[in-house]
Structure 1
Amino acid sequence: MSDIVDVQTNDQKAQSLKNIGWVSYVLHLIVAVGAVLPGTQASALLLVIALVIDLVKRGDAEGTWQANHFSWRIRSTIWVGVLYIVTAPLWLLLIAPGWIAWGIISLWFLYRIVRGMLAMSNNRAVDA
């Protein structure tokens, strides 16, 4: 009896990680676009799902150019969450200060996601 062992090649692993990265980037993009466009708020649950995917799969990308993308998305999500929480009291000063702050944060988040997507489409790490 011969045992057949299916060993995943580096190309298959790289493509699998890239597919996971695209799923995560698309989830981030949906949330980022929803944050920028009024009346199209996407669920924060999508962002949590993307964050969990990135945290779980980050170890699989160790030592590859894609590890940078996992860290990039995780840092982006954590920073945007912290910035939203820190600027939340501005909403109490009337609506305008909070709206302006969250608008700037949302645009910054969208920029980071698009920048990461462009780098991934070129098969390279994100320049920090």
Structure 2
Amino acid sequence: MTDQPVDDSTHTISWVSYILHLIVAVSAIVPGAQMGPALLVVALIIDLVKKGDTTGWEATHFSYRIRTVIWVAVLYLVTLPLWLFFFFPGWLAWVGISIWFLYRIVRGMVRLNTQQPVTD
């Protein structure tokens, strides 16, 4: 834990964002449970709008989620040709990206729960 006081409003917003990310990450792995793009856009907008309202260790969580979403989007786009032209390698790449996304979100949630900064 840190000595810095927790801002309840941004802390709650951070939890809401993590839960939205978690729903998207789980639905990316579970077949037929695609909740993705809309919830991910909502979570990203929340993070972009509220990032400036935070400082210290809480701010690292907003930046971490934004970076995670950007990296996931780039990785999905880069591997899209594999998915379109070679089904199995594309599917493997997307499963790997989705698992990595889920790992990052769970890792961030654990750090937020213990009121610690999150770094790459």
Q: Same fold (TM over 0.5)?
A: yes
Which residue number in structure 1 is paired with residue 81 of structure 2? Answer: 89
Distance 1:45 1:92 in 2: 22
1:1-128, aligned counterparts within 5 Å?
14-61=7-54, 63-128=55-120
State the SS of the aligned residue for 1:40. coil
Distance 2:26 2:58 in 1: 24
State the SS of the aligned residue for 1:41. coil
Distance 1:103 1:38 in 2: 11
Letter in 1 for 2:112: M
Structure 2 alignment gaps of length 5 or more: none
So what's the TM-score if we normalise by structure 2? 0.92
Distance 1:92 1:107 in 2: 20
Letter in 2 for 1:34: S
Q: Tell which structure's C-alpha radius of gyration is larger.
A: 1
State the SS of the aligned residue for 1:66. helix
Letter in 2 for 1:64: G
Runs of 4+ in 1 over 4 A off after TM superposition: none
How much does 1:92 deviate? 2.7
Identity of aligned residues (%): 57
How much does 1:18 deviate? 0.6
Structure 1 alignment gaps of length 5 or more: 1-9
Q: How many residues get paired?
A: 117
Letter in 2 for 1:29: L
State the SS of the aligned residue for 2:82. helix
Q: Using CA pairs below 8 Å that are at least 6 residues apart, which structure has the higher relative contact order?
A: 2
Letter in 2 for 1:126: V
Deviations 1:58-104 (A, max 9, x none): 0001x321000000000000000010001000013331011000000
